[in-house]
């Protein structure tokens, strides 16, 4: 499942890199977007701002106003994706601790870090 999430994040990172090059053009106003200081906040922002973007994307033709709105939304979405990427990086480290601890029969580390891993991924993975 981590591989699937990593693949999605890698694709999103590539898209963000492309957008950053485009957004560096001085013709566009830059926004800070809503912050994503926690994983929960990032997931909330992704869900809400994706819904706003999806609503606009249902149109047959996009207007300049739609493009401006999508541009603004993208800043919050970028913040959320960056936080999610940071969280996945941390999860990979935690899972590696579990992996190594399981090899050395370190029960305490497996229990502690395994719980942290499962609690965090439960926020990301839908059952």
Q: What is the pLDDT of residues 20-56, one digit of tens each?
A: 444 444 555 667 899 999 999 999 999 999 999 999 9
> What pLDDT score does 89 carry?
97
Contact 87, 40 (CB under 8 A): no
The answer to whether residue 17 scores a pLDDT higher than 50 is no
Q: Angle at the Cα of 82 (from 18 to 11), degrees rounded to 5? A: 45
The answer to whether residue 57 scores a pLDDT higher than 90 is yes
């Amino acid at each position: 499942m981590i591989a699937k999430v990593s693949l999605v994040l890698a694709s999103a990172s590539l898209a963000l890199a492309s957008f950053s090059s485009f957004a560096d053009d001085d013709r566009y106003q830059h926004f800070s977007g809503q912050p994503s200081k926690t994983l929960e906040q990032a997931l909330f922002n992704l869900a809400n701002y994706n819904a706003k973007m999806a609503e606009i994307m249902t149109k047959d033709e996009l207007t300049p106003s739609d493009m401006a709105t999508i541009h603004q939304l993208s800043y919050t979405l970028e913040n959320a994706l960056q936080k999610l990427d940071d969280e996945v990086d941390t999860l990979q480290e935690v899972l590696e601790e579990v992996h190594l601890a399981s090899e050395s029969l370190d029960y305490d580390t497996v229990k502690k870090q395994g719980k942290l891993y499962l609690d965090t991924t439960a926020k990301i993975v839908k059952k």
